[in-house]
Structure 1
Amino acid sequence: MRHFTIAAMAAATLLAVPASAQDREGWPTSLTIGTASQGGTYFIYGTGLAGLITESLGVNASGEVTGGPVQNATLVETGDHQIGLVTMGPAYEAWVGESELAPGVEHKSLRALFPMYQTPFQAVALKSSGIESLADLEGKRVSVGPAGGTAATYWPRFFEINGITADISYSGANDAVSQVKDGLIDAFAFAAGVPIAAFAQIAAENPVNIFAFTGDEAAKILEARPELSAFDIPGGLYEGYPDPQGTVSLWNFAVAHQEMPESLAYEITKLVMENNDRMLAIHATAAETIAANTDKNSFLPYHPGAVRYYEEAGISIPDELKGQ
């Protein structure tokens, strides 16, 4: 496993360096944040977060395109990435050794840093296709995002729960909407913080149907997958869709390896929690990136550095979620 090394301090003048020199022992000179495919919310959120860390903490951070949460959890577990963006469904499966990418390997080195936002599930098809519901995807060619991502993990389950058989393929968000427009696939079923950039793009350029689940379909899903919750996507996010739309969602968290220096985990958590205006400038989903949502994590221990910040801020973390 790759370990964090003691980094030399940069001599350049920084816009803000809240940690003193003695607090930086063990800090890496650079760190990588696992995101997802271009055109998805993770990529925008993660690359923006990397820029904020670079600017404010003096660590050269970068966001990297990945397959999404399933892969991100394993990349953090192995130490290849220092931070990963994950949805809590795939994170739980990785935690207990049921990851599709690394079956049998319990990802016990993962530590939570901060809550991000909820990821709702939606699908898009050209209006000319006549596809406007989950039932209409029967027998159709459907991309479910990149392999290893949240959408790729959950949409096949949703199909099975509701008795739908589809011809599933995998691709990044931008590629998937291009394939829909070119008629190579019939629909793109995805999961990301809203508004989904790729959905907004195709809706602005083409007449489309954007849909999720009926009440009965959602009820079946929530009964079968208790880690999910009901969610109303606000209206007005996509051209031609002024009304809210019901669906299901998963919470997202930023996670780190347990070997991340406590002072670095503290400073990253503090930076994000105390600069919500900067996070909102990165993506509107950051409206939910607040300390009050720490209770949306029910199983993953928080990094000791994050615990220290939350306790200083008056946020209580249950003893069973205080990681070592």
Structure 2
Amino acid sequence: MKRFTKTFAGLCLAGAMAAGTASAQVNLTAEASSPGNSPHVSILHLSEVAAGAGIASLQVREGQTLTNSILNVANGSTDIAPMPLILGFLMAKGRGPYSSLGEEQGAELAANLRALYPYNAGAYGLIALESEGIATWDDLAGKNVWNGPPRGAALVNARQAIFLAAGLKDGEGYTGHQDNWGQLPQRLVDGSMDAFVFPLTFPSARATMMQAAGDIVMISTPKDIFESDAYQRVFKAPGNVPIVVKWQDMGYGADSGVRLISDDDSYRGIGTAFADVVHKDMDFDMVKALVAEYIATLDALKLKTPYMKNVNLAVLDPEASGFCGINPLKYHPGAVAAWEEAGYTVPDCAKD
């Protein structure tokens, strides 16, 4: 095993409320998740640049439950929201959090959703305080592990990551603990958990927060397990994408208090594919203008928030983005036009 450290240097995406500037000609509503992750940053960035370019003023409601946000976009009560791709699939099938809709109504609503651009919310990984002495996924046996909110895709993926890496089941091999995302910051520093398994961006605001309690270790999924047939099947499920990030790109360095345990200087994990979505009936020119401005300001987004360099912004490849296959989500025609005019290739299977 190799051990590495790198300094975290992160800048928050502050001041995004410039969305209310008088230059914006159209008012749009948007919803965002809690601060500290790529879906939240993505929406606030769009809000800022759309206002700055005089395209639209986005009135953003933060800290929302995305399961509900996507339903609001589908029924036309909200204009834009971030969506883990699994939710579009579940809505279309009338399953999971949308089981009360039934398949027919769920399919009708899901058919209203269209994507602007793709990204991911980081890679599921194991993180713990150095003082806990955890160096492998197998070390989670008998431990108290925080593995997500009480229900939803995040908990499913975390449990799956642990089982595939160590063969341990929640409630049998280890004791899983769940809280809402808003309670995670307290958990990270209060010493109540032995380890955490959740999505990590690179560099990670959650890791920085956890360092208030001491130095930390991040443990990659072992390469042989990650490349096994069983693990690769996970990426056939809607919304899951493979993520591999080299240590030198993770945003840490010597004396940062962050150490990576990996086979080969790279971090591997299950990624959660996302897209910011709108209703299919949103005006073509409006969508094209929003996406064109987003594309034009990607460098600024990466500069403001360093971990956005590692979430596959502007990567339209189906395998990396989670599009196509059994994922029903397509790009809005206005988004397709903006991407293609910017020189990108939009897969035919992802076009409306």
CA 118–65 in structure 1, closer or farther in 2 if over 3 Å, else same:
closer
**Are 1:305 and 2:334 counterparts?**
yes
CA 286–38 in structure 1, closer or farther in 2 if over 3 Å, else same:
closer
Structure 1 segment 1-324 matched on structure 2, within 5 A? 14=23, 27=26, 29-34=27-32, 36-56=33-53, 57-68=55-66, 70-98=67-95, 100-103=96-99, 104=102, 105-106=106-107, 107-117=110-120, 119-147=122-150, 150-161=153-164, 162-165=167-170, 166-172=175-181, 175-203=183-211, 206-218=214-226, 219=228, 220-227=230-237, 228-235=240-247, 236-238=250-252, 239=256, 240-241=258-259, 243-287=265-309, 288-290=312-314, 293=316, 295=318, 296=321, 297-298=323-324, 299=327, 300-323=329-352
CA deviation string 1:40-81 (max 9, x = no partner): 33323332332222332231332521244x444333223343
Q: Distance in 2 between matches of 1:229 and 1:40?
A: 17
Tell me if the contact between 1:71 and 1:148 (Cα under 8 Å) persists in the aligned partners: no
Tell me if the contact between 1:44 and 1:282 (Cα under 8 Å) persists in the aligned partners: no
Q: Distance in 1 between matches of 2:153 and 2:207?
A: 17
Q: Percent identity?
A: 20
Between the two structures, name the one with larger relative contact order (CA 8 Å, sep ≥ 6).
2
Shift of 1:285: 4.3
Shift of 1:188: 2.3
CA deviation string 1:80-137 (max 9, x = no partner): 4322223334443334433x21124232211111122462112322222223333233
Q: Distance in 2 between matches of 1:274 and 1:280?
A: 12
CA 74–144 in structure 1, closer or farther in 2 if over 3 Å, else same:
farther
CA 251–261 in structure 1, closer or farther in 2 if over 3 Å, else same:
same
Query: Helix, strand or coil: the match of 1:114?
Result: strand
Shift of 1:261: 1.9
Q: Distance in 1 between matches of 2:308 and 2:21?
A: 30
CA 142–50 in structure 1, closer or farther in 2 if over 3 Å, else same:
farther
Structure 1 unaligned segments of length 5 or more: list them. 1-10, 18-23
Query: Helix, strand or coil: the match of 1:167?
Result: strand
Greater CA drift, 156-165 or 296-305: 156-165
Quick one: which amino acid aligns to residue 183 of structure 1?
Answer: G
Tell me if the contact between 2:116 and 2:276 (Cα under 8 Å) persists in the aligned partners: yes
Greater CA drift, 83-92 or 267-276: 83-92
Tell me if the contact between 1:76 and 1:110 (Cα under 8 Å) persists in the aligned partners: yes
CA deviation string 1:21-46 (max 9, x = no partner): xxx7xx5x231133x23333332333
Query: Helix, strand or coil: the match of 1:101?
Result: helix
Q: Distance in 2 between matches of 1:146 and 1:133?
A: 23
Q: Distance in 2 between matches of 1:123 and 1:101?
A: 27
Q: Distance in 2 between matches of 1:43 and 1:118?
A: 10
Quick one: which amino acid aligns to residue 212 of structure 1?
Answer: S
Count of residues in Structure 1 that have an aligned counterpart in Structure 2: 298
Q: Distance in 1 between matches of 2:126 and 2:176?
A: 15
Tell me if the contact between 1:46 and 1:63 (Cα under 8 Å) persists in the aligned partners: no
Q: Distance in 1 between matches of 2:83 and 2:56?
A: 24
Structure 1 vs Structure 2 CA RMSD = 3.1
Shift of 1:320: 4.7
Tell me if the contact between 1:121 and 1:212 (Cα under 8 Å) persists in the aligned partners: no
Q: Distance in 1 between matches of 2:147 and 2:34?
A: 12
Structure 2 unaligned segments of length 5 or more: list them. 1-19
Greater CA drift, 260-269 or 274-283: 274-283
Q: Distance in 1 between matches of 2:244 and 2:141?
A: 24
Q: Distance in 2 between matches of 1:270 and 1:223?
A: 35
Tell me if the contact between 2:46 and 2:290 (Cα under 8 Å) persists in the aligned partners: no
Normalised to the residue count of structure 1, the TM-score between the two structures is 0.78
